[in-house]
Amino acid sequence: MDKDIVEQIKSVLEKIRPFLQRDGGDVTFEHYDESTGTVYVSFVGACVGCMSLDDTLHLGIETILIEEVPGVNAVKLI
């Protein structure tokens, strides 16, 4: 696995994390599948069961990771 990509992913998630924590939630990096370019994350706290979860995942986190980390093609929730 490309450790540089994983570090970039974690760095981007650290920038996003305060926005989620402000509302009582958080995101956790689980793993990166280099063969598909897929990042797997989980949500905790207020994010679990939130009606905005899909928007946060796809319009927020996924969009930002794809733009900022070469090699990332998708983000999926575990």
CATH number at residue 7: 3.30.300.130
Distance CA 25, CA 6 (A): 22
pLDDT at residue 38, as a whole number: 98
For residues 65 and 12, the answer to whether their CB atoms sit within 8 Å is yes
Residue 46 lies in domain: 3-77
pLDDT at residue 39, as a whole number: 98
pLDDT at residue 1, as a whole number: 60
What is the mean pLDDT for each group of 10 consecutive residues in the chain (78 residues)? 89 96 95 97 91 91 97 97
Number of domains in the chain: 1
Q: Quick one: CA torsion of 51, 54, 56, 59, rounded to 10 degrees? A: -140
pLDDT at residue 3, as a whole number: 84
Backbone phi, then psi, for 39, in 5-degree steps? -100, 135
